[in-house]
Structure 1
Amino acid sequence: MQFNVALIASAILAAASPVLGAEFQWWTGAGCTGTAVVTTTNLDPLVCFSIANGGSTKSISYSGVPNFIDFYKSGGGNDQCTNSVLFSFGPGSGCATAPDGFNLESFFYG
């Protein structure tokens, strides 16, 4: 019985570890350069995230994403993860940079 409980607990921790280790940084420059405006870790998945007070940045780096991450550009009907996804990437790490003339305002991951 103890073995089964330990095995189940280990499996749960292993499944949760990618989410618990996820980190996101909002950057002033393209290609995740310049100044890091905000760094966040251990965010709950499947929730829309944005900078407080309607902020946006040119790029966002991410690491430890377990399945996918979707990015939304700043402006009007796209704020707060609405309307069309600008970029969608699979699991892992990377950097998303908004196209010329735009910023990134929010993301959604799982």
Structure 2
Amino acid sequence: MRAVDLLGLAAVDTAGRSLGKVHDVRLETGAPPTPDSGEPAFAISALLIGKAGYAHRLGYGRGQMAGPWPLTSFFRRMAKRSIVVPWSDVEEVGTHLISVRVDSREHSAGGEAT
């Protein structure tokens, strides 16, 4: 599976409720080298799901970014509309749908899913 295959897939929680679409993936180093080239490989560590995944990509989801207060306020509110789901919480990846072990009611305010 390639990470690009996950982008745009709909995600649902354990009860079948929609969480939104996958907008980005987080990668980590440490995967075994690829057999064909021997180059280091990356493994998927988390999925960014929801309407405003780009706010997480910019660092506003974890409070890492600060800037002019209007931008900080705007992007932090946008980050609350998405969640970060660890790859270990992914139950099933289908051709059009991803099922994750996350209750959407617990993450209605957005943020990191644990």
TM-score by length of 1: 0.29
Q: Which structure features the higher share of strand residues?
A: 1
